């Protein structure tokens, strides 16, 4: 993905050709993907991850907005709720592993504002509670 930022976004999802192996990805659970940044380390900050399968434009908006805020001097921590990504609700940053490193996963609440550990939460959003390797059946 080309942009003016000095970080990269990897978007690994069903139907997307993997940049590394050249094969079509198809092992993800429904509603899951593995999108993440590389390059936040130059700001002394963990990278970010989104695992809810939104379109690339929306995932890019979320990850780049956070990246720009880090570049602007903000620092985020696990467990923190972050306003300003979506107009109507905050997101939460949880720590997960991705490719052997710790990342801050952007956990997105459902349309009613319920987070995935809540009983009321839309079940599709629950994939966000899974470890990165559990999101993709082929990689288990």
Residue placing its CB nearer to Zn ion in the complex, 10 or 45: 10
Minimum distance of Zn ion from residue 34's CB (angstroms): 8
Residue 22 DSSP code: -
Bridge partners of residue 28, in order along the sequence: 136
Residue placing its CB nearer to Zn ion in the complex, 35 or 70: 35
Distance, first Cα to last Cα, the chain:
27
Residue placing its CB nearer to Zn ion in the complex, 49 or 128: 49
Residue placing its CB nearer to Zn ion in the complex, 39 or 90: 39
Report the chain's C-alpha Rg in angstroms.
14
Interface with Zn ion in residues 39-58 (CB under 5 A): none
Minimum distance of Zn ion from residue 36's CB (angstroms): 5
Minimum distance of Zn ion from residue 37's CB (angstroms): 8
Determine the Cα–Cα distance for residues 5 and 117; give it in Å rounded to an integer: 33
Binding track, positions 1-40, relative to Zn ion; x by CB under 5 A: ---------x------------------------------
Identify the burial level of 83 via C-beta atoms within 10 angstroms of its C-beta, where 0-12 means exposed, 13-18 middle and 19 or more buried: exposed
91-98 and 81-82 beta bridge pairing: antiparallel
The residues of the shown chain that bind Zn ion, judged by CB under 5 A, are 10
């Amino acid at each position: 993905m080309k942009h003016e930022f000095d970080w990269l976004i990897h978007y690994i999802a069903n139907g997307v050709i993997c940049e590394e192996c050249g094969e079509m990805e198809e092992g993800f659970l429904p509603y899951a993907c593995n999108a993440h940044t590389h390059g936040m380390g130059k700001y002394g900050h963990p990278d970010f991850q989104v695992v809810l399968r939104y379109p690339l434009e929306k995932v890019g908006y979320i990850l780049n907005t956070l990246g720009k805020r880090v570049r602007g001097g903000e620092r985020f921590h696990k467990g923190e709720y972050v306003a300003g990504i979506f107009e109507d609700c905050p997101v939460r940053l949880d720590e997960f592993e991705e490719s052997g490193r710790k990342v801050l996963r952007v956990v997105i609440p459902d349309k009613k504002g319920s987070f995935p550990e809540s009983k009321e939460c839309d079940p599709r959003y629950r994939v966000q509670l899974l470890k990165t390797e559990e999101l993709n059946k082929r990689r288990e």
